[in-house]
A = this chain, B = another copy of it.
Amino acid sequence: MPAVSDCTKMLDSETKAVETPEDHAEELRLWLRLLTCTTLVEGEVRGRLRQRFDVTLPRFDLMAQLDKAPDGMTLSDVSKRMMVSNGNVTGLVERLVESGHLDRRTSETDRRVQVIRLTKLGRAEFRRMAAEHETWIADLFAELTPKDVRELMRLLAKTKASAQKSAARRRS
C-alpha cells in the first residue's frame, strides 16, 4: 500500500512542477473542521428543540421556511430552499399537516402544485420556538467577536460560491 502522505513533489524535467500529485491535506482538514462545527451546533440545537418543545429539527427548519413566506410555498420551493429531496418534503409536510401546524391545498391554477402555509397554531408555535432558538445560537457562538462573525460570513460566502461552481461544473 502506497504511503500517500510520503510522496514528494515530482518536478517536471523541463519546466517547473507539472503533473504533481498535489497535496490537498489543508483543504481536507478544513472540510473536516467545517463538518465538526456544523455537527456540533446541529446536535445541540436538535437536542434543545426536542427537550424544550418536543419538536424535531427538520420540522423546525420547514416551519422556518414557511414563516418567511406568508403567502405559502410549493413543495418544490421548500425542497430547493432546504436542499433536501422532494420525497423528504412530502413526508415532513404530511406529519406537520397531521399535527395541525401546516395547511396544504392544491393550487387553483396548476393542479400539480401543492401550496403549504403555516396555520395560526403553526405560526404561533414557531415564533415561540424561534425566539428561544435565537438565544441558543447566540450562546453557541458567544466566543466569536463581531469581527469574527463578519469575517466568517465573508469567507463562508466565498466557500459557498466555490462549492456551487464546483457542483455546477460536475453537472455540466
Residues of A within 8 A of B (CB): 1-2, 4, 22, 24-31, 33-44, 48, 83, 123-124, 127, 131, 134-135, 137-144, 146, 148-153, 155-167, 169-170
Contact = CB atoms under 8 A, between A and B. Distances in A.
Contact of A40 (B26, B37, B167): B167
A123 B161 CA distance: 34
Given A148-B158, A158-B148, A166 B139 contact: yes
A131 to B, nearest CB: 7
Contacts of A28: 134, 137
Nearest to A26: B149
A33 B153 contact: yes
A163 to B, nearest CB: 5
A131 B40 contact: no
Given A24-B137, A142-B165, 14 more contacts: A25-B134, A27-B137, A27-B138, A27-B141, A27-B144, A27-B149, A31-B140, A33-B160, A35-B38, A36-B83, A37-B163, A41-B163, A152-B152, A152-B159
7 contacts: A1-B127, A4-B131, A27-B137, A27-B138, A30-B156, A31-B141, A140-B162
